[in-house]
Structure 1
Amino acid sequence: MRSAGSRDKAEARKPLARLLIGRAAMAAAMVAIATVASFAHASAAERGKSAFDVASGTSFAAAVSPDGRKIAIDLQGTIWVMPPKGGRAHPLTDRFDDAHLPSWSPDGKRIAYYAYRGGRYAIWSMRADGHDQRQLTDGAFDDREPAWSPDGRSIAFASERGGSYDIWRLDLSDGRLTQLTSGPREDRSPAWSLDGQRIVFAEREAGTSAILAVAAAGGEAVVQRTAPAGTIYEAPSLSPGGSLALVARDATSSRFEIDGRSIADIDAVFPFRAGWHRETAYVTADGHVRQIAKETARIVPFVARLETTRPRYPRARRDFTTSAPRKVLGIQHPALSPDGRTIALVALGDLYTVPASGGTPTALTRDGAMEADPAWSADGTRLAYSSDKGGGLMQLWLRDMKTGTERRLTSMPTQPLGAAWSPDGTTIAFLDYDGFFGTAGLMLVDVATGRTTRLQKTLPQPGNPTWSPDGRHVAVALAKPLSGSAREGYNQVWVVPVDTAKPPFWRMATERTLDTRGGGGPVWSPGGGRMAGIQDGLLKVWPVGPDGATTGPARTLSSRIAHYPTWRGDGGALLYQSADSLRMIDADGTNDREVPIDFTYRLSVPSGRMVVHVGGLVDAVRDATKADMDIVIDGNRIAAVVPHAAGNHEGAGRIIDAPRLTAIPGLIDFHAHPQKDTGANAHLAWLAYGVTTVRDPGNQPYDGVEDREASEAGVRIGPRIYTTGPLLEWQRVYYRMGTAVSGPDHLARELKRARALRYDLIKSYVRMPDAEQRRIIAAAHAMGVPVATHEIYPSTYSGVDSIEHLEGSSRRGFSPKEGPLGRSYEDVIGLLARSQATITPTVFGALNIYFAQHPELRRDPRMALYPAWASGPFTAEAPLPAALLAAQPGQHATLRALHAAGGRIVAGTDLVIAPNLIGELTAYVAAGRSPFTALQSATAVPARALDLDAGTLEAGKLADIVLVEGDPRRDIGALFNVRHVIANGRAFSVADLLALGAASPVKPAVDDDR
């Protein structure tokens, strides 16, 4: 999932960016698995290692020693030293330290830096030869950007420990910390004056950017220079003569300035403070170290050696042929009835109930619609749930459990999910989805009249609502950031009074953080006095007051991994999900028992023979368009691809005669996040734009599996789904689909669940420590599944399979994959090409650029399959941001270099908007690639990465075929002209798909043995 790698860049593009394993036994078992896996991994690593030299780098800093005899740099998270005139750089820190921003002690004997060990950044120092590494700060906070004082007695640094980022001073003699600045500003990047009397720093507040100075002893900060509107000042430093140097960044450049003058005409300066030796500055820019003297810059050349590993392990391959019964794993949001006798759940696209004692589920719905989030009324007579069965998008529906009658409760342009009944049964609270990745407001609806009331405007991906027993408050889980500089935070309880005249407020959830907002609670007990939630992967209950205030410590109920708890009406027991099972447990932690469910489905494979006659065919194997061809399909596989002849059509149950159309393989979106808010329509839209396979690298633990199984069962018309569970994050999270892994034991539980739910991949997210990520890679490869990550190094050394995004979210606040103006350098190109990890560029704004050139595509009726909040930013006629246009040449150069070096580029979009994938391919062509090789990035290459029998039009391959007007080998834009799509052997016209999206979906005409 991509957000801006640089938070500042994200803010600059905000309107578009919003779119655009008892315990001990389990832990021992997982450790054993990981140990065996690590030996296998090490053996593979020896075979797949590659070392190479680079002479330019991405987003690194440089510092010169006081005597001018050494330069330290922090290339790809390792501190290196090299001679002052340039030469080979030698590493001082471990590649797993994620160490940055070296600062020399005034005597040149030690180097301070900040490093990410144990899941947070701390200030460290070491001898100048790399020995005697010492951690200088500790705690639950990130400390960054150290600067050594001129007298050698103190280190100034930026820290979030004060509630926002502020400037702090560490006295090295006794370890005492002094807070020098405070307030709502985000104060970063301190640097000392030569006399040691003051510290300059960069600050941001309410859209303004400035450089301030504060006395080293503390006091009032004084503004030194304020940035013009649209410009950000960062990384200040003071020359020995007192001149103020800084990096000034705007939409089109990143410059080094001294006393307000741009120096040396460098437009891609990295955002790190200059190092000074006498009046000579050392900055990093455009891939190099630059020595600047008298406003003249020269490159200080370096050579650094990096290592990569190509992963080699047996893959767990998906079976798209066997019709034997398969256990249903994707059970979405199971809810226990108030009397404790019945469980409502969603699976295989429909709403079901099953006795709480176990048994075979009974379907309450049988249609092609998408259902989600069942919720019982307090008296157990009614069931609320979300569905798009009325045609179009998700709405709230009510079912009378005695009569079976149903009525639609809402009619909204935004999508209501997460229904929760008030204790008196008159009102339902729900989330009003109006943004990507679970962004939603909080609303109430009167059950009798359907009248809605807004409690909260748009919130950043809240959890599902829960009511206080007195009906006065509604609570959701929200991430509470530790500062304004980093978006990740702790999942806590946000309580909203029903009386809208009263303000909402925070309450603590257990001791630290709930695991996830996508099923981690909180859930208020029906009788009051308690909340339930998930922490450390386990079910916990803690006492609360009437307004949700925690009144005592949490008690752990489960010893197994847990998810999505619901209470029995008397508060005496809870239902929860655990790996591939449902379980009930008494509220005192006793009688933990499985609910045995007999629930299976069969793979839906069409029967019969179909022949497709096309005027042109691009097989994605050879760069050629074959004329007048027949594709013979038996069941869901291609039997033959042969020149057209009347005899080929004999015995065919269906013939598609399309002599004016060109056949290509079905497109594969290698990075998209299906969400329940856009309903079944998003799946129809993927097909309508020619996308027959979607790889989902982050979702709620069971939602993505439900998508996969509904597709396999033929219930949901849409693409084949490769999915995973949550983004595996460390202790803090941003996305609702992320899980805050608390430590090694919790990580082992998550990996055990991944095996039980048969994830197709595992996603290691941005705050996962590099050493823990290596354990994830070993365990995943032992399962036979790949690992994806945003990180590039040491991930490519550890054997990761896939890197997501060139620009993308990073714990650092800057991207080690892409620097200013969208530029990447030798380190990034070499790591990706040598490791052969796939890279999904997700070029920012590609579809907007193409739509600006072809505005008629904004009016394509397929765009109406999406809610207006999702399609609007693409269909609206608006000027393209200057920052977007300025980054295009750099991103295009990177794409060309990656392709030339043999990098494995796979196309993906991040969002559910299907035409984004075609927009991505147009960006590859604009960068200089041929339309054919661009097409391969969405067909043959990702199919190989998925180990999928598709991606090319050849005998034996799965029948995923798209028919378009025009020849995409000549014009990649022809991919927008889809007329027919064949997905897993089933054919649809675009008109058919549009009709399904606009009308109430009907039960698909497939074998329905579920």
Structure 2
Amino acid sequence: MIASGTHNAKRRIALALVALPCAIALLACPVAASSNATNEMQETASVEESAVFEVRSGTSYAVAVSPDGSSLAIDLQGSLWIVPAGGGRAKRITGVFEDAHLPSWSPDGSRLSYYAFHDGSYKIWTVAADGSDARNITEGNLDDREPSWSPDGKTIAFASERGGGYHIWTLDLISGELTQVTRGAREDRAPAWSADGETIVFSGKEGAVSAILAIPAGGGEAQVLRTAAPGTTYEGPSLSPAGQLYYVAHDSSGSRLERNGTSVSDMESVFPFRPSWSDDTAYYVSDGKIRRRHDGRSETVEFAARLETNSPAYARAKRDFTSTAPRRVLGIQHPALSPDSTKIAFVALGDLYTVDSSGGEPTQLTHGPALEADAAWSPDGKTIAFTSDKGGGLPQLWLHDLATGEDRQLTDIDTQPLEAAWSPDGKRIAFLDYDGFFGVAGLEVVDVASGAVTRLQPSLPQPGSPSWSPDGRYVAVALARPYSASAREGSNQIWMVPADGSGAPFWREATDRSLDTRGGGGPAWSPDGTKMAAIQDGLLKVWPVASDGTALGDPQTYSDEISHYPTWSGDSASILYQSADRLKIVSLETGATREVPLDFTYRLDIPTTRIVLHVGGLVDAIHDATQTNMDIVIEGNRIAAIRPHHAGTHNGADRVIDAPGLTAIPGLIDYHAHPQKDFGANAHLAWLAYGITTIRDPGNQPYDGVEDREASEAGVRIGPRIYTTGPLLEWKRTFYRMGVAVSGPEHLEREISRARALKYDLIKSYVRMPDLQQLRLVEAAHAMGVPLASHEIYPAALIGVDATEHLGGTSRRGFSPKQGPLGRTYDDAIAILGHSGMTITPTMFGALNIFLAEHPEYRADPRLSLYPDWVRAIYASDRPLPASLLAMQAGQRAAIRAVHEGGGRIVAGTDLVVAPNLIGELTAYVGAGLTPFEALQTATIEPARALGLEAGSLQPGQLADIVLVDGDPRKDIATLFRVRQVVANGRPVTLEQLLAMAKDKN
């Protein structure tokens, strides 16, 4: 049964928060409406709708049976619920913002232990069985997970990263004493007690080797009980009352419950959590259902849990694609102060500029459609190093001579150099050599005179900008230092690399907290060698250092507003930094700060032509039909009319494009793509070449994405229309270079202020953002008139999150609440998506590879030449995908079909820069059971509606984004690979012209 209606969202959320009274105050947090929305025009969204519904199966949850066998505790969608052991209605006993998991009963049945996410880390909690008296029993900034109550009720065993990597710990509930039980390089997780309390079994993983081990509860030597075969992982061990070892084994064939090496779960897909025991009966979860197994027979314990969603309603900001009035440039990329403090160099609108440090109108140093990035002054102030693809192909390092105005190409390498940094003597330049997705790069040095390149470090996980020690001995970069091998997120700290290639790199830490981001957060070494600057808490910090980077004191704060990308003056007396939409210079001696005002605007590039397209077929993405022999009239950047072909329609046209053998469709929209500077302008040309005329970028460096958007709007960078955001907003730790480790509520408010100032098109809340802080981001985003996206599904769907990314995707839990083993999704997630109005971007990883295996002719597609060699190698290879990824395809396709049939809003996206992945994604949707037309809609009209974009369909008044393909995509979705011509924002371009532009960017 489903009950729904229109209600007040905050009243409903407050009712759901009765178990969290201390959190309700955040609901009333005032949010000022911003006039800095993406556009002054706004439109009102539909009236908010709430839905209450019941679900009878769930995704990625565990079950624990009470000692008396009468009740079951489950952790469905981040809350603990109690279900009668015979089945029935589930009663929620913890709040919706707890992210509570893996319940374990006390021996007397009065309480449950569990782990819950608060203030950026998981902690062990207990709660009375009726939901009262919740207590936090561990503390700190490190994660504690997977509690298990001892049979005597005196101790809780749990897994924790507090010892460096995950190990098994125990907590004495009387004394509060913590004891580390296991040690070493192995990652130890999921402890469970023997019936006599003498032994703890647990799962362990060292490298790729997974095992089940046992150790005396009082400490001692761990004994390996079972070692998994290669490709198999063991999880969730448990000892039956009779001492038999049960655990979950997972590999590419499935996930099963095993007893001492033998599967006991038939064809079930078992969730990776320990079974729970009542005498000799085991309770566990498989295929979304609670199972009770006894004497080799399995029974299902049916339950019903009531969930609620709220579809957000707010005044939606609408991008202005019509006005040609001047617009202030906001995308100032990597501004750098000259050594004599008189000039600032930066990239904006696709080109290199300088401006007086007192402000004014910038001077343009480069011109053309090439992509420029990362200006860096030579120590003598005579030369600016920068990255550009102006030589054709992909980016290289260039030098601009300020006296002559001439540019010289410095590198000619197969991978792409960015983030140039001059050595103190001006003879060498350190740079990041990008050779992987999302900023994976090595650290290299090039000799300025000869061009010889030396690699100092192989591929690193998304390092930050290099900074030289003033004696030239070291190059420092920011790297994420993980807390364990079980989770990739870590603290941004400083990685010191000997510049002569001798000796091993080593870590240096400024404080016990993370630097904000590796994408512009420092560190920046002062020219005199006595200090380092970086961004922490959203603020500019400076601290004294020794010659090897050792911190000699605490950081001092030099800003009170959101700050980014510090660069030093040559005399080490002042620092230039970005503060939201401003440039500022601070004196370290006096602390005085002054703004650098810029007189810098651009205008929207709109054609003034009248063009007529005569096409043999037309699919408007609204009606499941192919119209034949049609004319499309384009005036400026909009469709003026669509009518049956008539020669008279061509009269007065500035240009007629006669394509009777081609079919017109709306320009495609990739709803989840991450532009990268290392792919250069070619990536933008490639999007058009594959028919993609709009991309939504849900995570980037703060100013890089804005620069992409403005360069596109100004017509400088030929490519798709861009909807962008700033960094992935994390909490206290992060993984991606484009992420920010938000240190607390005040820092979060600073990030919100930058989002307003830079007019982001959306805000992205990432995986370790606590639910209550995500609620704050929802309020802030909606006050701006833009959506909030995350990886979360619940309580995200309750508090008004607009979009969830990926069917699986990264989760702070180590498992996904949207997807279980073999890529399968169950009743709870499907119903949440169907009722909430949230969009879901599945991102079917490997879909293009599967398509290319079936259609190898597309591996020779000339458009792939637009990408780096290492990218082309991925798609040119006929090497099969990993078995684990292939095993998930059927489950993910079934999930897509179920979400679609359940009313969920599927919007197509790829999570990548490589454009053909979008078409691969659509072929997977057709394989899932959508018709080719329905799949086409997920990349046209549906994402356009989600963006509030007047495109995505072919009808008068819409923006003129049109793709001409050879064939009818309603009959065969693979027709989308056969793009012949594109009209982007009213400007037509052929495939051949796009490929030629990639070779000549002057």
Q: Give the TM interval when normalised to the shorter protein.
A: over 0.9
Name the structure 2 match of 1:389: 390
The alignment status of 1:965 with 2:966, answered yes or no, reads yes
Q: Distance in 1 between matches of 2:31 and 2:560?
A: 19
> What do the CA deviations read for 1:73-128 (whole angstroms, capped 9, x no partner)?
00000000010011100000001000000000011111000000111100000111
Q: Distance in 1 between matches of 2:65 and 2:633?
A: 68
Shift of 1:859: 0.8
TM-score, normalised on structure 1? 0.95
- Give the aligned residue type for 1:562: S
The alignment status of 1:266 with 2:261, answered yes or no, reads no
Q: Distance in 1 between matches of 2:916 and 2:203?
A: 40
- Give the aligned residue type for 2:723: Y
The alignment status of 1:1000 with 2:997, answered yes or no, reads no
Name the structure 1 match of 2:171: 170
Task: Say if 1:45 and 1:103 are closer, same or farther in 2 by CA, change over 3 A.
Answer: farther
Describe how 1:264-303 pairs up with structure 2 within 5 A.
Answer: 264-303=265-304
Name the structure 1 match of 2:697: 696
Name the structure 2 match of 1:99: 100
Name the structure 1 match of 2:326: 325
Moved over 3 A (4+): 34-37, 43-47
Describe how 1:672-711 pairs up with structure 2 within 5 A.
Answer: 672-711=673-712
Q: Conserved in 2, the CA contact under 8 Å of 1:45 and 1:310?
A: no
Task: Say if 1:497 and 1:776 are closer, same or farther in 2 by CA, change over 3 A.
Answer: same
Shift of 1:879: 1.7
Task: Say if 1:193 and 1:300 are closer, same or farther in 2 by CA, change over 3 A.
Answer: same
Task: Say if 1:949 and 1:261 are closer, same or farther in 2 by CA, change over 3 A.
Answer: same
> What do the CA deviations read for 1:46-76 (whole angstroms, capped 9, x no partner)?
9422110000000000000010000000000
- Give the aligned residue type for 2:1001: P
Shift of 1:510: 3.4
Shift of 1:501: 2.3
Secondary structure in 2 matching 1:60: coil
Task: Say if 1:722 and 1:325 are closer, same or farther in 2 by CA, change over 3 A.
Answer: same
Name the structure 2 match of 1:826: 827
Secondary structure in 1 matching 2:413: coil
- Give the aligned residue type for 1:837: M
Shift of 1:458: 0.3
- Give the aligned residue type for 2:630: M
- Give the aligned residue type for 2:790: T
- Give the aligned residue type for 1:296: R
Secondary structure in 1 matching 2:321: coil
Secondary structure in 1 matching 2:315: coil
Secondary structure in 1 matching 2:270: coil
- Give the aligned residue type for 1:317: K
> What do the CA deviations read for 1:619-670 (whole angstroms, capped 9, x no partner)?
0010000000000000000000100000000011111100000000000000
The alignment status of 1:334 with 2:347, answered yes or no, reads no
CA RMSD across the alignment: 1.4
Name the structure 2 match of 1:139: 140
Shift of 1:509: 2.7
Shift of 1:333: 0.1
Shift of 1:45: 12
Q: Percent of aligned pairs with the same residue?
A: 65
Q: Distance in 1 between matches of 2:929 and 2:941?
A: 19
Shift of 1:588: 3.4
- Give the aligned residue type for 1:686: W
Q: Distance in 1 between matches of 2:541 and 2:819?
A: 42
Q: Distance in 2 between matches of 1:527 and 1:248?
A: 57
Shift of 1:775: 0.7
Name the structure 1 match of 2:199: 198
Name the structure 2 match of 1:565: 566
Q: Conserved in 1, the CA contact under 8 Å of 2:824 and 2:895?
A: yes
- Give the aligned residue type for 1:581: R
Name the structure 2 match of 1:633: 634
The alignment status of 1:33 with 2:34, answered yes or no, reads no
Q: Conserved in 1, the CA contact under 8 Å of 2:34 and 2:756?
A: no
The alignment status of 1:222 with 2:223, answered yes or no, reads yes
Task: Say if 1:229 and 1:412 are closer, same or farther in 2 by CA, change over 3 A.
Answer: same
Secondary structure in 2 matching 1:933: helix
Describe how 1:931-1010 pairs up with structure 2 within 5 A.
Answer: 931-997=932-998, 999-1002=999-1002
The alignment status of 1:876 with 2:877, answered yes or no, reads yes
- Of the structure 1 ranges 729-738 and 507-516, higher mean CA displacement relative to structure 2 is found in 507-516
Shift of 1:44: 10
Name the structure 1 match of 2:779: 778
Shift of 1:973: 0.2
The alignment status of 1:523 with 2:524, answered yes or no, reads yes
Name the structure 2 match of 1:601: 602
Secondary structure in 1 matching 2:684: helix
- Give the aligned residue type for 1:820: P
Secondary structure in 2 matching 1:330: coil
Shift of 1:34: 6.5
Shift of 1:499: 2.7
Shift of 1:883: 2.0
Secondary structure in 1 matching 2:559: coil
Q: Conserved in 2, the CA contact under 8 Å of 1:558 and 1:589?
A: no
Secondary structure in 2 matching 1:33: coil
Shift of 1:878: 0.8
The alignment status of 1:577 with 2:575, answered yes or no, reads no
Q: Distance in 2 between matches of 1:289 and 1:809?
A: 25
Q: Distance in 2 between matches of 1:706 and 1:289?
A: 51
Name the structure 1 match of 2:11: none
- Of the structure 1 ranges 864-873 and 389-398, higher mean CA displacement relative to structure 2 is found in 864-873
Shift of 1:779: 1.0
Name the structure 1 match of 2:189: 188
> What do the CA deviations read for 1:282-315 (whole angstroms, capped 9, x no partner)?
0111100111111211111110011101010011
Q: Distance in 1 between matches of 2:229 and 2:419?
A: 44
Q: Conserved in 1, the CA contact under 8 Å of 2:791 and 2:805?
A: yes
Q: Conserved in 2, the CA contact under 8 Å of 1:316 and 1:785?
A: yes
- Unpaired runs of 5+ residues, structure 2, are 1-25, 36-43
Q: Conserved in 1, the CA contact under 8 Å of 2:510 and 2:554?
A: no
Q: Distance in 1 between matches of 2:229 and 2:781?
A: 49
Q: Distance in 2 between matches of 1:299 and 1:886?
A: 26
Describe how 1:345-494 pairs up with structure 2 within 5 A.
Answer: 345-494=346-495
Shift of 1:881: 2.5
- Give the aligned residue type for 2:271: F
Q: Distance in 1 between matches of 2:527 and 2:469?
A: 8
Q: Distance in 2 between matches of 1:77 and 1:837?
A: 18
> What do the CA deviations read for 1:945-983 (whole angstroms, capped 9, x no partner)?
000000000000000000000000000000000000000
Name the structure 2 match of 1:306: 307
Shift of 1:36: 12
Q: Conserved in 2, the CA contact under 8 Å of 1:351 and 1:364?
A: yes
Secondary structure in 1 matching 2:317: coil
- Of the structure 1 ranges 866-875 and 522-531, higher mean CA displacement relative to structure 2 is found in 866-875
Shift of 1:880: 2.9
Task: Say if 1:792 and 1:77 are closer, same or farther in 2 by CA, change over 3 A.
Answer: same
- Of the structure 1 ranges 412-421 and 291-300, higher mean CA displacement relative to structure 2 is found in 291-300
> What do the CA deviations read for 1:669-720 (whole angstroms, capped 9, x no partner)?
0000001010000000000000000000000000000000000000000000
Q: Conserved in 2, the CA contact under 8 Å of 1:103 and 1:148?
A: yes
Describe how 1:707-786 pairs up with structure 2 within 5 A.
Answer: 707-786=708-787
- Give the aligned residue type for 1:84: A
- Of the structure 1 ranges 896-905 and 466-475, higher mean CA displacement relative to structure 2 is found in 896-905
Q: Distance in 2 between matches of 1:436 and 1:294?
A: 51
Q: Conserved in 1, the CA contact under 8 Å of 2:212 and 2:226?
A: yes
Q: Distance in 1 between matches of 2:259 and 2:479?
A: 43
> What do the CA deviations read for 1:406-428 (whole angstroms, capped 9, x no partner)?
21000011000000000000000
Higher RCO, 1 vs 2 (CA within 8 Å, ≥6 residues apart): 1
Shift of 1:32: 3.3
Task: Say if 1:884 and 1:267 are closer, same or farther in 2 by CA, change over 3 A.
Answer: farther
Q: Conserved in 2, the CA contact under 8 Å of 1:360 and 1:599?
A: yes
Q: Conserved in 2, the CA contact under 8 Å of 1:464 and 1:517?
A: yes
Q: Conserved in 2, the CA contact under 8 Å of 1:637 and 1:958?
A: yes
Name the structure 2 match of 1:889: 890
Shift of 1:872: 1.9
- Give the aligned residue type for 1:457: P
Q: When the two structures are aligned, how many residues end up with a matched partner?
A: 968
- Give the aligned residue type for 2:826: Y
Q: Conserved in 2, the CA contact under 8 Å of 1:509 and 1:522?
A: no
Task: Say if 1:502 and 1:891 are closer, same or farther in 2 by CA, change over 3 A.
Answer: same
Name the structure 2 match of 1:645: 646
- Give the aligned residue type for 1:132: D
Q: Distance in 2 between matches of 1:444 and 1:406?
A: 20
Secondary structure in 2 matching 1:687: helix
Q: Distance in 2 between matches of 1:205 and 1:44?
A: 51
- Of the structure 1 ranges 716-725 and 257-266, higher mean CA displacement relative to structure 2 is found in 257-266
Name the structure 1 match of 2:865: 864
The alignment status of 1:839 with 2:837, answered yes or no, reads no
